[in-house]
């Protein structure tokens, strides 16, 4: 199922290029790139059971998995995107199989299993595999020419010798699927989104030729999007520690500073918490930004410049999805 993440992430890079830079760089191909926008992968997904009949190609592939000993779980849709899928499991081999369908990108399949200690193995015939870096311990094997029988064989051959596998079940499929997607996106956003090399590989796989300046602009857009999503995820992680009423009361009063923020962006967030930053504090912030001081260190250093009664208060220190501080002005209690 992680092949879906790679597919959507690759499409998402192209879409971000379209959104942020098409007006300057792409001119006549803007219409095609706008179509790609529909394929941007969200930061999280919700799997919902579907009563719609599978297409002939999806059904054919699902039956091919059944011939390899997989048992059908059911049909699903993803609330946040136009993707439908049929899921199957092989209880004794502790593996899931999934056949996906997207209205523009067609049908593809994968098999996936999880190691009991850590990591996973995914084998897929998606034609878009391999564009992005692999997450450590999560092995992805791609062969666009392989049929379903072949990718099951490849899965069996690629298993780590002697490594215990985590059990799979029909009841656990939805939560396993959603968590696999979220964990992958947390890792990708935690490293700042797609790297410059990843953007280059995605651009190289598109029909048009893009110059280095365009690719660099795309990377900036991707990183900005990643920072915004990381902030949102940190807010969600903090909100999960509170009851609903408490979160409603303070959600507009908190600021999240995470380790991936540039020091200038961290200062912009902090200064917004102050009625009017003093000239001395602004100057000190400028010095720290000039030195490229890490965002979390910048917070601690600038806090020491404020009187105790005017200092922001640290409500929480997070370590997932990245190290972060949740701050609130001291005068708010």
pLDDT tens, residue by residue, 73-119 = 999 999 988 889 999 999 999 999 999 998 877 899 999 999 998 89
- Looking at the fold, whether 160 and 306 belong to one and the same domain comes out as no
Q: 226 or 121, which is more confident?
A: 121
User: Is the residue at 230 inside a domain?
Assistant: no
SS3 9: helix
Beta carbons of 326 and 250 less than 8 angstroms apart? no
- Looking at the fold, whether 87 and 185 belong to one and the same domain comes out as yes
- Looking at the fold, whether 74 and 206 belong to one and the same domain comes out as yes
- Looking at the fold, whether 8 and 104 belong to one and the same domain comes out as yes
Beta carbons of 139 and 123 less than 8 angstroms apart? no
Structural element, H or E, at residue 222: helix 212-239
User: Is the residue at 236 inside a domain?
Assistant: no
* Rounded Cα gap, residues 80 and 158, in angstroms: 32
Q: 277 or 258, which is more confident?
A: 258
- Looking at the fold, whether 29 and 174 belong to one and the same domain comes out as yes
Residue 273 phi/psi, 5-degree rounding, is -85, -10
User: Is the residue at 307 inside a domain?
Assistant: yes
Residue closest to 7 by CA, chosen among 83, 96, 121: 83
Percent of the chain with pLDDT over 90: 53
Percent of the chain with pLDDT over 70: 85
Final residue of a domain: which of 194, 225, 256? 225
User: Is the residue at 215 inside a domain?
Assistant: yes
The per-residue pLDDT for 158 is 96
Q: Which residues pair with 314 in a beta bridge?
A: 327
- Looking at the fold, whether 43 and 124 belong to one and the same domain comes out as yes
Final residue of a domain: which of 225, 252, 281? 225
Residue range(s) defining the domain that contains residue 183: 2-225
pLDDT, tens digit, 9 for 90 and up, residues 138-181: 999 999 999 999 999 999 999 999 999 999 999 999 999 999 98
* Rounded Cα gap, residues 2 and 46, in angstroms: 15
pLDDT, tens digit, 9 for 90 and up, residues 196-225: 888 788 777 766 777 888 788 778 877 888
Residue closest to 283 by CA, chosen among 269, 267, 297, 295: 267
Q: With bands split at pLDDT 50, 70 and 90, how would you rate the model's confidence at 15? A: very low
Q: With bands split at pLDDT 50, 70 and 90, how would you rate the model's confidence at 261? A: very high
The per-residue pLDDT for 143 is 94
Mean pLDDT, the chain, as a whole number? 83
The per-residue pLDDT for 309 is 66
Structural element, H or E, at residue 112: strand 106-114
Residue 30 has pLDDT above 70, yes or no: no
The count of domains in the chain is 2
Among 49-53, 71-75, 261-265, name the one with the lowest average pLDDT. 49-53
User: Is the residue at 54 inside a domain?
Assistant: yes
- Looking at the fold, whether 190 and 287 belong to one and the same domain comes out as no
pLDDT, tens digit, 9 for 90 and up, residues 228-253: 889 999 999 999 999 999 999 999 99
Residue 250 phi/psi, 5-degree rounding, is -115, -5
- Looking at the fold, whether 64 and 17 belong to one and the same domain comes out as yes
- Looking at the fold, whether 37 and 184 belong to one and the same domain comes out as yes
Residue 256 has pLDDT above 70, yes or no: yes
- Looking at the fold, whether 220 and 245 belong to one and the same domain comes out as no
User: Is the residue at 78 inside a domain?
Assistant: yes
**Tokens representing residue 228 in the block:** 């915004």
- Looking at the fold, whether 97 and 246 belong to one and the same domain comes out as no
Final residue of a domain: which of 201, 225, 249? 225
- Looking at the fold, whether 211 and 249 belong to one and the same domain comes out as no
């Amino acid at each position: 199922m992680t092949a879906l993440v790679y597919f959507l992430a690759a499409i998402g890079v192209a879409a971000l290029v379209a959104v942020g830079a098409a007006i300057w760089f792409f001119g006549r191909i803007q219409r095609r790139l706008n179509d790609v926008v529909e394929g941007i992968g969200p930061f999280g997904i919700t799997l919902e059971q579907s009563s719609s009949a599978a297409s002939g190609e999806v059904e054919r592939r699902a039956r091919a998995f059944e011939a390899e000993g997989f048992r059908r779980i059911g049909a699903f849709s993803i609330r946040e995107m136009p993707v439908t899928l049929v899921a199957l499991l092989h209880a004794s081999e502790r593996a899931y199989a999934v056949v996906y369908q997207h209205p523009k990108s067609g049908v593809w399949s994968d098999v996936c299993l999880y190691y009991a200690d850590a990591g996973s193995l995914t084998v897929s015939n998606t034609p878009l595999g391999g564009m992005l870096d692999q997450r450590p311990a999560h092995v992805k094997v791609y062969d666009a020419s392989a049929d379903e029988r072949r990718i099951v064989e490849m899965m069996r051959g690629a298993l780590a010798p002697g490594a215990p596998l985590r059990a799979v079940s029909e009841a656990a499929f939805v939560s396993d699927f959603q968590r696999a997607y979220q964990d992958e996106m947390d890792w990708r956003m935690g490293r700042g989104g797609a790297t410059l090399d990843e953007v280059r590989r995605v651009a190289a796989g598109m029909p048009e030729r893009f110059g280095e300046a365009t690719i660099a602009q795309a990377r900036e857009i991707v990183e900005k999007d990643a920072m915004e999503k990381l902030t949102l995820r940190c807010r969600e992680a903090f909100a999960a520690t509170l009851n609903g009423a408490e979160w409603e009361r303070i959600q507009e009063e908190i600021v999240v500073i995470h380790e991936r923020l540039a020091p200038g962006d961290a200062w912009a967030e902090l200064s917004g918490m102050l009625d009017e930053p003093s000239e001395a504090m602004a100057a000190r912030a400028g010095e720290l930004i000039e030195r490229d001081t890490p965002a979390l260190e910048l917070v601690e250093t600038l806090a020491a410049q404020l009187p105790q009664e005017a200092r922001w208060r640290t409500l929480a220190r997070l370590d997932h999805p990245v190290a972060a501080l949740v701050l609130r002005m001291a005068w708010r209690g």
